[in-house]
Structure 1
Amino acid sequence: MARVQLKSLEKVYGKFKAVHGIDLEIEDGEFMVLVGPSGCAKSTTLRMIAGLERISGGEIRIGDDLVNDKPPGQRGIAMVFQNYALYPHMKVKNNLSFGLRLKHAPKAEIAASTEEVSHILEIEDYLERLPKQLSGGQAQRVAVGRALIKKPQVFLFDEPLSNLDAKLRASMRVRITDLHKQLLAEGMHSTVVYVTHDQTEAMTMGNRICVMKEGRIMQVADPFTLYRKPANAFVAGFIGSPEMNIGDATLVDGNKLRIGTQTFTIDDKARARIDKDAPSEVTFGVRPQHFTVVDQNAEEGLLGRISHVEFMGHEVYLYITVEDQSFIVVVPATGIERQYLRDDAIRIMPQEDALHIFHRRTGENISLSA
């Protein structure tokens, strides 16, 4: 079993509390991504799981073992770092096999394992090279291979793709997720805990995603749930590109939303989801893809003016000012040159069931009550 359990986990540096008693269960064979902005303690949490940082409180269990005081080498983990951490004086084949040689594994086992791992990661042609002779993508594959060859219970990845260009990051995302699926298919239920600040990596790689902020867990869910049902305004604003439109509004008579001086009726589905005890002063959220452009003379919707237009190929970003608030609206690119121009007046309306209402003080999504 490679289940990972964090119970009331804390980390304190002097008077500064970096991790605030988090609880997280990662299932056997799961690909869990820890994501959040810089300084949210996601890497600190990973390093505590690895045994590279001592915990200040709580428990860490890997499988059935309490590992709080166990050194990294006895935790059944393997870690891939951001900077690859390859030995510069060793050829690739020796970097791959270093862990096995430390354990005094038989030469035949070392040779067979090195061949198997290099084949899986398609690095057979690089075995006689030194790390300085590798590209960034090649070096990262060697780093993954060095972890894979140990056949650990848990793989820990600490922002492993951040030093690669966009094209390489995309291809490595696929390689790592495919490798995990292959291991599962072969009966090796290795659990993955993957740290990143890149929401694209998180959304495309994780079975579930743990969103963190300032040493606290904001929400743990699958990518679809995070996108469609964010638990709070922080998750709503962090997940999604372009980011969700979020601003201040007033609930009027329980079925209307006033933004500035403009008011529109909330659809029945959204109204049914809103907490009946919700305060009148709220924060609203609508994703850029979930607005519809309606007729300027329509009675419902928000009337504004286009301040900027960005052509992105298959779609267009419209930057719209509605009184003193700014919105981004994503529309299909078809006919954009003829339909929407800078300084044009435009009226937009949230799509049915796409409006989120947040408690202005706590940030809680109060439109998920039903």
Structure 2
Amino acid sequence: MQNHSATRDRVSELTHEIRNQSEPFRRIVEQVNHVLVGQEKLVHRMLIGLLANGHLLIEGVPGLAKTTAVASLAKAINTGFQRLQFTPDLLPADLIGTQVYRPQDQTFVVQKGPIFSNLILADEINRAPAKVQSALLEAMQERQVTIGGETFTLDDPFLVMATQNPVEQEGTYQLPEAQTDRFMLKVIVDYPNRDEELRILQRMSKTAAKFDIQAVTSPAEILSARELVDEIYVDSKVQNYVVDLVMATRQPEAYGLNLGELIMFGGSPRATINLTLAAKANAFLASRGYVTPADVKEIAMDVLRHRVMVTYEAEAENRTSESIVSEILNHIATP
């Protein structure tokens, strides 16, 4: 009983701290909204990636302001930013750097690539071949890069936000499963509705539309907020709910779901970790010191959609990973 009381007191204290420390993130949203119209979900997911130290994969057809969204976020944070345009002729060295020979003293020196920054916009990542996509793996997971046998640690925060066109488009390569699993969230960006389209027309139909975005927070504030995210309370019932959701993607029959023939691979333990972290970040943005099942449910689709691989049978039945994840979310009882 005493432990329960101490936990409740700590959660209350944490909620008060979060209310104060979440203010910079509200300011970021305000600044980004000076440019973007109707992309509230995308902005929210980018903030979750920042808070939970996880990378984002943003998918949508060209022209939906995916690149603008990431660039605007970078401007609102006083930190390093690099935009990398992925093309079919890109080489791994163009990304991480290489060793350069200096004839004057007959030595090799390391020339660091653009990956050495804080926020990385990997634009149209699926237009580059697999060897370039693989060059990102070590940087994304280990937060380090190896060049010529020497290992360099990347700056903190380090966040990759990659945009991709739908795979059916001309000149695109499908990302390997090992690569997509490195992304905490996969966010699908859709067309704006009619009212939003009208506001875009009114705001953007100029030959040189310029927007003044102020830097309203710093890397130090983000790292400080992450410490609070780590402390956010997750009840055992919510933990079990997270585990059940992920386990249902691997062993659907154990949960009374007839999906076994439709799922090739389910979510890995990384999915469990990422779903918990993203739910904690969602609670932080809602100024709460504890995670609710609603936090988990809100973010689950973006965490799981790229981790559930469907079989040929599923494709024959026009079933997608999204429809399977939706069925699991609707079936597993919320605590």
Q: Identify, as 1 or 2, the structure richer in strand.
A: 1
- The structure that has the greater radius of gyration is 1
Q: Please give the TM-score of this superposition, normalised by the length of structure 1.
A: 0.29
Q: Identify, as 1 or 2, the structure richer in helix.
A: 2
Q: RCO greater where, 1 or 2, for CA within 8 Å and sep 6 or more?
A: 2
Q: Please give the TM-score of this superposition, normalised by the length of structure 2.
A: 0.32
